[in-house]
Structure 1
Amino acid sequence: MVWTRPEKPAIPNVWYTFQAKDADSDHLVTYRVEDLTEDRHEDMIQHYLDNFLDDEPFCQNKQISKDELALKEMRSFYQWCFNERMTIVCYKNGSDEIIGGNLLHVKGYEKLADFDLKSESIRDIILANDYMTDQFKIHEHYGVDQYLTAYGLAINRCYRGRGIATEMLKARVPMCRTFGIKLTATNFTALGSQLAAAKAGFETNFEMSFEDFAKLGPRYSFPGIQSKSLKLMSLRIE
């Protein structure tokens, strides 16, 4: 059954607050993580275009930002994520600048490959991600029908190195508790996101090196990718 977000709590709900260094000083400021509102959809798409596509190892490797068809489909995919009403955004108190975003989705047994996408580059990325969940059967292992997953964590370049990614991942815990979700799990590509997930309490369930991916065939090959491996990591919600 497809999960639908309940009407309460109303959007935007503040899920988490924390303190971290400001962009241009060691001064601690307060940040908040809350639901993305409809009026910020286009701003969030631009945030991902500016801070994700040229940095995330898969997208960087496939040069998604330079592929007109792939870019168009990524925009459509982002909008689909937003329409699920689970995407979260990080703001600094007193500012409406987008500091970070995380595209969240409550996943059942469907696969990313179920999306009708024409871009070969995006389809290859999806194939690798689906392979991870095929190898480690999350639903069976944890005894859940649904879990909270994500399709991209993007931190504004000016605010990196301040632990904000880790804090945004921690925001999943109160979200899951509110909606009665017992697990969150995600494929983490970049070393930085893998380290952030570990600091947030995620454990590694399955890891696949890109060298081993290449042995599966051309569509699983990402020559020169700026990452050692893909990690499926999860966190039980008590």
Structure 2
Amino acid sequence: MLNRQVITLIGVVVLINLLQVKGNGPQHPNDASSSSANSNSSSHRWFDVAGVFRNVFKLPVSVIEAEAIKERGGLVWKRPTNIAQFPHTWHTFKAKNASGEEVEFVIKDIPRSRFNQVVDLMALYTLKTDPIYNALDIWTNADAVNIFKNEWTLILKQKMSVACFTNDGSDTIVGISILNVLRKDDVMFKLIPDYPNYRINRLEQLYRRIKFDTFEHYKVDEFLGSAGIGIHPTYEHFGIDLELLRSREGICRTFGLAVTSTLFTSPASNTAANQLQFNIDKTLSYNDIRKVIPEFTSITNPRITLRSKEFK
């Protein structure tokens, strides 16, 4: 069972190859753009949708790119309409609560009507409590929070993300897995404006040290990636995060995807990956990371691993 306090399942390729935060940005944690995540007094809007689209379509783009930008946040792969009709139910499972009673959950595609709610829940479930984000004080910086929310919003448009719902008629969301099919020719970066931010740049420093080409290593044109898993704190001991990870096999086999790849940052998450037979592609120790990113001295986990699983 994974623990919300010690796991980060971050989309490495998403944040590095797609987010494309350029420049060195402010060199001090108290950068000029820093402000409370809940502040409404910002003097600017960091993301102007209309403006971004105006800029994008001034650039030479193919028909495929233009359609991907308009419909799926710049992700080229398109979910087939004749397979696993959206929103699809992937599987149900049962877990015992603190009283020993069985509770049933269901993992389903996230419907469009819940996209905004999911983005807000992901911020609460990950940015406030995850050790890496916590070490960088992501939650306290409104601009950094908005960058994450915008990324998740774009990814959700591909309609591959899933959530764990209580199967009691209330349809309460208790777990989220932001998933996307990644291709080398994705153009999400065209929807992300340059926005120097100390905290995001620190994350970029971390991910650049991993240096692994999933496309080349597995000889694939596309694979299922992740941009985060979030679990409601009340349900963190129900094994929901493990079931969300397990659901990827059904998703990949249904859509003919040969590989899924994810970053694991704790002993607990690596244990789950072992249980589900994920291969280790790359390992990076936190001791090495701290030499470059001193903010991570508060993290006691021994290593980060980039791991993948093939479906043949």
Alignment TM class, shorter chain as reference: 0.7 to 0.9
CA distance in 2 between partners of 1:194 and 1:99 (Å): 22
Q: CA deviation at 1:113?
A: 10
| Partner in structure 1 of residue 122 of structure 2 | 48
> Is 1:128 matched with 2:202?
no
Q: CA deviation at 1:70?
A: 0.7
**Taking CA–CA contacts closer than 8 Å with sequence separation of 6 or more, which of the two structures ends up with the larger relative contact order?**
2
Matched position secondary structure for 2:277: coil
Which letter maps to 1:167? E
Q: 1:61 to 1:117 in 2, by over 3 A?
A: farther
Q: 1:231 to 1:110 in 2, by over 3 A?
A: farther
Contact 1:70 1:121 in 2 (8 A): yes
Which letter maps to 1:62? L
| Partner in structure 2 of residue 20 of structure 1 | 95
Matched position secondary structure for 2:172: coil
| Partner in structure 1 of residue 233 of structure 2 | 157
TM-score (normalised: structure 2): 0.68
Contact 1:183 1:235 in 2 (8 A): yes
Moved over 3 A (4+): 110-117
| Partner in structure 1 of residue 248 of structure 2 | 172
Contact 2:136 2:295 in 1 (8 A): no
Matched position secondary structure for 1:175: helix
Q: CA deviation at 1:157?
A: 0.9
TM-score (normalised: structure 1): 0.88
CA distance in 1 between partners of 2:214 and 2:209 (Å): 12
Q: Percent identity?
A: 27
CA distance in 2 between partners of 1:34 and 1:113 (Å): 25
Q: Give the structure with the larger strand fraction.
A: 1
CA distance in 1 between partners of 2:156 and 2:177 (Å): 10
Runs of 5+ unmatched residues, structure 2: 1-63, 65-75
Aligned Cα root-mean-square deviation (Å) = 2.3
| Partner in structure 1 of residue 146 of structure 2 | 72
Q: 1:14 to 1:52 in 2, by over 3 A?
A: same
Q: 1:43 to 1:113 in 2, by over 3 A?
A: closer
Q: CA deviation at 1:122?
A: 1.7
| Partner in structure 2 of residue 140 of structure 1 | 216
Query: Pairwise mapping of residues 186-201 of structure 1 onto structure 2 (< 5 A)?
Result: 186-201=262-277
Matched position secondary structure for 1:52: helix
Q: CA deviation at 1:130?
A: 4.0
Q: CA deviation at 1:131?
A: 3.2
Which letter maps to 2:113? D
Which stretch has the larger CA shift, 28-37 or 103-112?
A: 103-112
> Deviation string for 1:171-210 (max 9, x for gaps)?
1011111111001011122443333222222222211012
Contact 1:56 1:189 in 2 (8 A): no
Q: CA deviation at 1:44?
A: 1.0
Contact 2:135 2:295 in 1 (8 A): no
Contact 2:90 2:250 in 1 (8 A): yes
CA distance in 2 between partners of 1:128 and 1:112 (Å): 22
Q: CA deviation at 1:123?
A: 2.9
> Is 1:92 matched with 2:166?
yes
> Is 1:57 matched with 2:145?
no
